[in-house]
Structure 1
Amino acid sequence: MAPDGADGLMVFDGKFRKPVDAAVGPLGAALRKTKLTPDHLTVVGLLVGASAAVAVGSGRLILGLVLVILAALPDLLDGALAKASETSSQRGAFFDSTIDRVTDALLLGGIAYYFADTKDPRLAVLPYAVMATASVVSYQRAKAESLGLEAKGGLMERAERIVVLCVGLLLETFVDDALVWILWGMLLLISITAVQRFVKVWKQAEVAPVTQARIDLRRERRASRREARTTRRRTRVPLRERVPRRQD
């Protein structure tokens, strides 16, 4: 599953991104020979992720764990295929990011159902709290980038969340309530990540220069006003010409 950001603070994407890209590069080249597209792989990842959510919700945690791992593979390979086939695009990136959010919601929804069915129903609120806080983290990056700023990094981004979630599913099969404590820890670390990103963007915005987009917008507005004034001048009714009086 593609992480939602990367910089030095991100453990998996920051330190292991290049080795992973080098490892899956040949697989992307092999997939290029098929008729699959990156969007196809993204959809496959969504379907497998939905199956994982159903498995977890029904209490089959080991099956859910295996499916979560399998769901990560298409999401890992779609980027390699896009690079190998030179089909990387903004539309593909937008589609992949949207599907990632949907998959996250399904997985956490499956955990919420599992808690409500096998534990205290009130614990079902915990996965939704994790999902809501994670959505804030993703929104911070999206909003910052729309303003020409950067909000990558943090202790608990998407790649870390998926890995920790897998660990929680595994431990839950041996230790009762292990997944509950794992989610409490995730919630804390995601909240810290949200604060980290907020501070990072806040500092950038304090000294951020006017972006080129804003400069271009101001120029367009000034040009429109000048054009409007010119048009009004040209459409003014000319003064009535004086007609000389008849000499009787």
Structure 2
Amino acid sequence: MFDGHLRVAVDRAVKPLGQALRRTKISPDQLTVVGMVMGCAAAVAIASGHLFWGLILVILAALPDLLDGALAKATSTASPRGAFFDSVVDRVTDALLFGGVAWYFASTQSAHLAILPLAISGMSSVISYERAKAEALGLSAKGGLMERAERIIFLCLGLLFSALLIPILWIMLVLTTLTAIQRFIKVWKQAEVAPITAAKIEQRRTRRQHRRNSESSRASRISATRKYQ
């Protein structure tokens, strides 16, 4: 939902910050690593029961993640490798954060309750996999009610209002599951048309190859005729 409605506005807002960071010697990948370190620290703080400090560190971890793309664009260093690295770090950070919440519940509540944040983490991985697999097939699986930005915002709200942490996590689980279903249906509908499109592409490719072979054969005959004249 964030990518579909606010991404352009946020990118425009952080563009000047990316230009400012360009004057420093820090690289986008280094900024990504800083965000991951902050995320690890946030997970440790949450797991040890320091929810307020965990909240502060989650916010601090989100800032480098927000700025590394802007810096890459400002320095003209945006690349598939950087995008891949950023995506992997995001998945690792998410797993650590929800793992920290699970540890906190196991220590202070019950082991059964620890399954809740782990379930959210698992469904988040399904959402990410759906998009990755869809894009690998040439399809689109963007959008949904609970993407990464929404998950971070909800987690921050739960850490801020710790008495509501459990209800907020249940809401996250429901919305994350609905997002996974949304993306599945979206890709499923696209994939219904994909075989026809693929067949047409293959047909055009065969025709082009046939024309090339015909032209090559014609050129060979002309060359042979001239040779014997």
Structure 1 distance, partners of 2:202, 2:40, is 45
Q: CA deviation at 1:51?
A: 0.2
Answer yes or no: is 1:200 the counterpart of 2:186: yes
Q: CA deviation at 1:96?
A: 0.2
Answer yes or no: is 1:76 the counterpart of 2:69: no
State which of 91, 110, 113 in structure 2 corresponds to 1:101: 91
Structure 1 distance, partners of 2:121, 2:6, is 25
Q: CA deviation at 1:13?
A: 2.8
Alignment of 1:226-245 (within 5 A): none
> Going by fraction, where is helix more abundant, 1 or 2?
2
- The answer to which structure, 1 or 2, has the higher relative contact order (CA under 8 A, 6+ apart) is 1
Answer yes or no: is 1:189 the counterpart of 2:149: no
Deviation string for 1:136-179 (max 9, x for gaps)?
A: 1110011111111111111111110000010011111xx2xx21
Structure 1 distance, partners of 2:62, 2:198, is 36
Deviation string for 1:51-98 (max 9, x for gaps)?
A: 000000011100000000000000001000000000000000000000
Give the alignment's TM-score, normalised by structure 2. 0.85
Runs of 4+ in 1 over 6 A off after TM superposition: none
Letter in 2 for 1:46: M
Task: Say whether the 8 Å CA contact 1:152–1:197 is kept in structure 2.
Answer: yes
Letter in 1 for 2:122: A
Number of aligned pairs? 206
Structure 1 distance, partners of 2:60, 2:11, is 18
Which residue is equivalent to 2:148?
158
Q: CA deviation at 1:127?
A: 1.0
State which of 76, 79, 86 in structure 2 corresponds to 1:89: 79
Task: Say whether the 8 Å CA contact 1:62–1:170 is kept in structure 2.
Answer: yes
Task: Say whether the 8 Å CA contact 1:49–1:107 is kept in structure 2.
Answer: yes
Q: Which runs of 5+ in 2 are unaligned?
A: 214-229
Identity %: 64
Which residue is equivalent to 1:210?
197
Which residue is equivalent to 2:138?
148
Structure 1 distance, partners of 2:80, 2:46, is 33
Which residue is equivalent to 1:231?
none
What is the root-mean-square deviation of aligned Cα atoms in Å?
Answer: 2.0
Letter in 2 for 1:81: L
Q: CA deviation at 1:211?
A: 4.4
* C-alpha distance 211-27 of structure 1, shift in aligned 2 (>3 A): farther
State which of 42, 48, 58 in structure 2 corresponds to 1:58: 48
Secondary structure of 2:185's counterpart equals: helix
Give the alignment's TM-score, normalised by structure 1. 0.79
Letter in 1 for 2:183: R
Letter in 2 for 1:29: Q
Structure 1 distance, partners of 2:198, 2:148, is 29
Structure 2 distance, partners of 1:211, 1:85, is 38
Which residue is equivalent to 2:217?
none
Task: Say whether the 8 Å CA contact 1:148–1:211 is kept in structure 2.
Answer: no
Structure 2 distance, partners of 1:24, 1:215, is 43
Q: Which runs of 5+ in 1 are unaligned?
A: 1-9, 227-248
Answer yes or no: is 1:110 the counterpart of 2:97: no
Letter in 2 for 1:206: E
Secondary structure of 1:151's counterpart equals: coil
